[in-house]
């Protein structure tokens, strides 16, 4: 555990050195949040409600999505694991006296923790200042949102770990990453709340893990969770996907390790 905490701290310190890049990311996220919010406000001028969502709900989800970008890394960056597989450095990673998945998870959680403080909070604050967001008054709702944030980070890591792990078979994961960066934002509610999609399409997208990154946390914040069990059902949904992805990653890592040994890599 001490080793993993040290790895977590290393990840946090490493990303905290890119202060100007982080500041630029806050500006970019805020600007895109404002643009997206204005577009949705124009849409809701024609219809006061769409599938139970009001204009304030939609704008709130926009800024929650922008605040979650850095935590979930839905637009990247990819895990360095993919590059290390390609250039052979993964052989040294496999020799570490710590579980392979846990090592990368601890590193990535350090990155996510830094982004919560330096990127998520300022971006969401911009939305609070510029727009009338639908914010909950109950403290327990905010606690649930924090739990949802942690679970979203775990799901985001699980997905990116699988993308990187594909390098053991494909050797180059840049194509996988390119497709993922296009598919993830569309399926997660990052670009557009899933409630604005046709019902059949939204129902399909809700069954995929990407919904756990933005749509479900947004509904928990708004108190509009459509999953059975309400807020607890939404958190359970996220936890189930996080566990499934981590277990799948562990199983595939074991298979990939045997593949590396057979190939002599």
DSSP state of 194: G
Q: Could you list the residue range(s) of the whole structural domain that residue 26 is in? A: 2-263
The pLDDT of 183-194, averaged and rounded, is 91
Global pTM reads 0.92
Min mean pLDDT across 7-16, 35-44, 53-62 is at: 7-16
Tell me the two tokens of residue 114. 């830094």
What are 55-103's pLDDT values in tens digits? Answer: 999 999 999 999 999 999 998 888 888 888 887 788 777 777 778 889 8
Using alpha carbons only, how large is the chain's radius of gyration in Å? Answer: 19
Tell me the two tokens of residue 154. 């775990």
pLDDT exceeds cutoff 80 at 1:
no
Which of 162, 173, 152 is closest to 74 using CA atoms?
Answer: 152
The pLDDT of 233-262, averaged and rounded, is 87
pLDDT exceeds cutoff 60 at 24:
yes
- Tell me how far CA of residue 213 lies from CA of 72, 230, 251, 260, 263, in angstroms: 7, 17, 23, 32, 36
Min mean pLDDT across 24-33, 35-44, 74-83 is at: 74-83
The whole-number pLDDT of residue 265 equals: 44
What are 99-152's pLDDT values in tens digits? Answer: 888 989 999 999 999 999 999 999 999 999 999 999 998 999 999 999 999 999
Separation of alpha carbons 29 and 68, rounded Å: 10
Total domains in the fold of the chain: 1
The whole-number pLDDT of residue 190 equals: 92
What is residue 54's three-state secondary structure? coil
Are 176 and 163 within 8 A, CB to CB? yes
Highest mean pLDDT among 5-9, 60-64, 190-194, 223-227: 60-64
């Amino acid at each position: 555990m001490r080793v993993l905490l040290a790895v977590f701290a290393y990840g946090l310190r490493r990303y905290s050195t890119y202060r100007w890049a982080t500041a630029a990311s806050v500006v970019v996220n805020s600007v895109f949040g404002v643009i997206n919010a204005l577009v949705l406000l124009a849409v809701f001028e024609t219809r006061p409600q769409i599938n139970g969502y009001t204009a304030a709900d939609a704008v709130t989800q926009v800024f929650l999505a922008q605040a979650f970008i850095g935590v979930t890394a839905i637009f990247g960056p990819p895990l360095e694991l993919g590059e290390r597989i390609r250039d052979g450095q993964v052989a040294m990673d496999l020799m570490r006296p710590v579980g392979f998945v846990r090592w990368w998870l601890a590193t990535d959680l350090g990155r996510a923790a830094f982004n919560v403080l330096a990127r998520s909070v300022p971006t969401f604050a911009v939305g609070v200042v510029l727009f009338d967001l639908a914010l909950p008054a109950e403290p327990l709702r905010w606690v649930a949102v924090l739990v949802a944030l942690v679970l979203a980070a775990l799901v985001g890591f699980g997905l990116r770990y699988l993308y990187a792990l594909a390098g053991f078979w494909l050797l180059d994961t840049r194509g996988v990453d390119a497709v993922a960066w296009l598919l993830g934002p569309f399926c997660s509610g990052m670009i557009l709340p899933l409630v604005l999609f046709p019902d059949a399409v939204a129902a399909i997208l809700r069954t995929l893990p990407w919904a756990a990154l933005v749509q479900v946390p947004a509904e928990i914040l708004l108190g509009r969770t459509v999953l059975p069990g309400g807020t607890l059902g939404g958190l359970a949904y996220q936890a189930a996907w996080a566990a499934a992805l981590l277990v799948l990653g562990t199983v595939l890592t074991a298979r990939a390790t045997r593949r590396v040994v057979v190939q002599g890599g």
